[in-house]
Amino acid sequence: MEKQALRKHLLALRQNLSREARAPLDAAILQRVIELPEVQAAQTILLYLDFRGEVESDGMIEHCLAHGKTPVAPVTLKEERQMIPVRITSLADLRMGAYGIREPLHLPELEVPVTAIDLVILPGVGFDRKGGRLGYGGGYYDRFLPKLRPEVPKIAVAYELQVVENVPMEPHDTLLDALVTEQGIWRRT
């Protein structure tokens, strides 16, 4: 219940950001993400396709496509409660998937083995500066992240208003390695 109340509060805060207020924040976050050594070192990057006022991610995907990297996004299988990593070949080739989230076309030849992913950039509802993350409550990322190669960095992007002192964490919640906001980068030490 504590998680649920915090989710509601933080989603309302994020929803209140106007388009005009959001644009410079998205630009600042994009710039920081592009400069991350983890991004520069990675070939295959699992990103996300923003919805419900998440930090805009199209610029990150365009950066990957323009720099010969392989951007990948989750295709959500609702019945199985699983995310399947699928390659994004173009931002023009997306469709509307489960929960109203854009996703790449789920063609077998575009599926990417989880072990091929070098870096994960993920969104969320709330974060703290201890590696804590609060999602929408589906547990999709919490089930997915443990399948990655253990050394793969898990880096979240968020607006500063999504960062709180303490996100309630449960044993199934995976800790993040870094958090990028418009104001700076937090890293787990």
β 94-96/44-46 pair status: unpaired
- Partner from Mg ion, ligand ATP, none contacting 136, C-beta within 5 to 8 A by type: ligand ATP
> For residue 178, what are the β-bridge partners?
155, 187
173 interacts with ligand ATP by CB under 6 A: yes
Contacting ligand ATP within 77-136 (CB under 6 A): 134-136
CB half-sphere exposure, 104, CA atoms < 13 A: 26
139 interacts with ligand ATP by CB under 6 A: yes
Give 110 or 169: the residue with its C-beta nearer to Mg ion: 169
Q: How many residues comprise the chain? A: 189
With CB under 6 A as the contact rule, the residue among 127, 141, 159, 186 that binds ligand ATP is 141
137 interacts with ligand ATP by CB under 6 A: yes
Helix, strand, or coil (residue 111): strand
118 interacts with Mg ion by CB under 5 A: no
58 interacts with ligand ATP by CB under 6 A: no
- What does the block give as tokens for 164? 């709180």
Q: Residue 62, Cβ neighbours under 10 Å: how many?
A: 14
Give 114 or 125: the residue with its C-beta nearer to Mg ion: 125
Q: Which stretch, 60-68, 102-110, 149-157, 167-175, contacts ligand ATP (CB under 6 A)?
A: 167-175
Give 53 or 135: the residue with its C-beta nearer to ligand ATP: 135
With CB under 5 A as the contact rule, the residue among 173, 176, 179, 181 that binds Mg ion is 173
* 113 touches 102 (CB < 8 A): no
**Residue type, position 39, single letter:** V
* 103 touches 82 (CB < 8 A): no
**Number of helices and strands (H, E) in the chain?**
5, 11
38 interacts with Mg ion by CB under 5 A: no
Give contact residues for ligand ATP (rule: CB under 6 A).
3, 134-143, 170, 172-173
Give contact residues for Mg ion (rule: CB under 5 A).
142, 173
